Amino acid sequence: MPFRRLPPVLRALLAQGLGFLAILVLARLGLRFPPLVWVLLQATLAVWLSRGLHLEPRWLLLQAVLPFLGWLLWGAAVPAWLYLSGFLALALVFGGGLVTRVPLYLASRDACDQLGALLPEGPLRFVDLGCGLGGPVAHLARTRPDGQFLGVEASLVSWLVAWLRCLPLPNAHIHLGSLWRVDLADMDVAYAFLSPVPMPALWAKALREMKPGSQLISHSFEIPGQAPDRVVPVRGRPGARLLVWNLR
């Protein structure tokens, strides 16, 4: 089903839209219910459709809550500019992920510590592809002053937070842009906490650009058909781990 290839946020909007369309059809057929029943029906349809579109449980909870939230705000005296500001803020934070189909994931402190333990000794060049708020880059730059650490982020607000976070660190740099435009030829380690969708393309990019002896490290997400050389469990979310591939 082609809809399942859409980013989660678009699948969520699609489910809500189809549910609302079904509500309109029922209303045109002459059905009459109290407002609360209509809202409950919208939430039920949205959750059911979201399950069919393979959204994760956290999205299902959001889909169930949204119709009730919209109903509560419908008659509230909320200025129109507040809705617009909220939309723009969400677009700035998550807009890059909407294009790249990579949501904003934050690595835990334990993941940063385990990542640091995996890095080779001596001077090195490290890149975080889709660095989010810059946590791993800032952590590694502080603990490994002999290395050069680069973070790349496509979402404007996330990039700004990461840039400010790493500004005091002379060996940390944050670039705004697409991870696919980064040349990996000089990198000793490339790290990514993305999603299942871009992993095959990331593997192809690593094979094409990275030198023998370098490492590709993925937080939690596998590369189809490529067994990792090492797997390191990390504390935090269920199933969290670091998968390491040695480029040969």
Q: What is the DSSP letter of 216?
A: E
pTM for this prediction:
0.65
**What DSSP string describes 83-114?**
HHHHHHHHHHHHHHHHHHT-------HHHHHH
- The more confident residue out of 182 and 106 is 182
- Does the pLDDT at position 105 exceed 80? no
pLDDT bucket at 165, cuts 50 / 70 / 90: very high
Interatomic CA distance for residues 104 and 191, integer angstroms = 15
**Of the listed ranges 6-10, 148-152, 231-235, the one predicted with least confidence:** 6-10
> Which is it for the CA torsion 78, 84, 85, 88, positive or negative?
positive
The residue ranking higher by pLDDT, 26 or 127, is 127
Closest CA relative to residue 67, chosen from 50, 80, 55: 50
Q: At 70, list the tokens.
A: 């919209």
Residue from 35, 55, 37 nearest 16 by CA: 55
Instruction: Write the single-letter amino acid at 54.
Output: H
The CATH code of domain 109-246 reads 3.40.50.150
pLDDT score recorded for residue 11 = 80
Burial 91-104 (b: 16+ CB within 10 A, else e): eebbbbbbebbbbb
List the single range of 2-16, 30-44, 149-163, 225-239 with lowest mean pLDDT: 2-16
pLDDT tens per residue across span 58-67: 778 888 888 8
- How confident is the model over 114-123, as pLDDT tens digits? 999 999 999 9
pLDDT class of 32 with cuts at 50, 70, 90: confident
Q: CA end-to-end span of the chain, whole Å?
A: 37
pLDDT of residue 76: 60
Share in percent of the chain as helix, strand, coil (round to 5): 50, 15, 35
Handedness of CA 214, 220, 223, 225 (dihedral sign): positive
What is the per-residue pLDDT across 210-220, written as a single tens digit (0 to 9) for each?
A: 999 999 999 99
In a 13 Å sphere around the CA of 25, the CA atoms on its Cβ side amount to 7
Domain chopping of the chain, boundaries: 2-78, 109-246
What mean pLDDT do residues 60-75 have?
Answer: 81
Considering only CA atoms, give the Rg of the chain. 22
Mean pLDDT of 26-30: 86
- Calculated CA dihedral for residues 45, 94, 83, 27, nearest 10 degrees: -20
Report which secondary-structure segment, H or E, holds 35.
helix 35-52
Say if residue 70's pLDDT is above 70.
yes
The strands making up 241-246's β-sheet, listed across from edge to edge, are 172-176, 148-153, 125-129, 189-192, 215-219, 241-246, 230-233
CA–CA separation, 220 and 193 (whole Å) = 7
User: Does the pLDDT of residue 148 top 90, yes or no?
Assistant: yes
pLDDT score recorded for residue 217: 97
* CB contact set of 219 (below 8 Å; sequence gap of 6+): 105, 107, 111, 191, 192, 193, 234, 240, 241, 242, 243
pLDDT for the residue numbered 30: 84
